[in-house]
Amino acid sequence: MSEGNEKLAETTGALDCPGEALSGRRAAGEDPAKREQIIEGAKRVFMSVGFDAASMNDITREAGVSKGTIYVYFQNKEDLFSAMIERERALFLAAVRTVLAAHEDVETGLYKFGVSFVTHMTDEKVITAMRTVLGVRRSYAQPVQALLQGTGKPAHAPPGIPGAPGRYRQPEDR
């Protein structure tokens, strides 16, 4: 790269972010703020009407982006739902780790962790989110379970899901 081009790249930040062109714009699908904007809009729609009733049109309106923009970032509604679940899981784990790391005393740390965990799990927004996730578990079981387990890929069928060992299956699955 010539000295002039290096200075231009430094000025525009192109050396730091390979997804950005020299114009300072990111490549399609590479803007983390736009991705976050879409996920936030999707979260509001999913929490309001549920996964099955949510449409990509509803999400585009809520997120304030075009339908084409959503499909640059996510393949379909299921992919977007998975990204939302993964983001929420990561945020929760980061908060829990912060609580645990803030206390050198194990007893105090575990107590604060327990309080934080119970407070989080009994929050009305979290309850609504869990109901939404549980509501789609039959039609979308493997990806949801994988994300809840933190593996990012489908896992074996958990209790209460078709394919689980005998005594754990729902009565209609037997």
Q: How confident is the model at residue 150 (pLDDT cuts 50, 70, 90)?
A: low
CB atoms within 10 A of CB 140: 17
For residue 146, give every residue at least 6 positions away whose Cβ sits within 8 Å of its Cβ, in sequence order, or none.
Answer: 152, 153, 154, 155
Kindly tell me if the per-residue pLDDT of 155 is higher than 80: no
Helix axes 32-49, 56-63, angle to 10 degrees: 120
Domain spans, the chain: 1-28, 31-156
Distance CA 169, CA 58 (A): 35
Q: What would the mean pLDDT of 124-142 be, rounded to a whole number?
A: 75
Q: What is the topology classification, in CATH, of domain 31-156? A: Tetracycline Repressor; domain 2 (1.10.357)
Q: What predicted TM-score, i.e. pTM, was given to this entire model?
A: 0.62
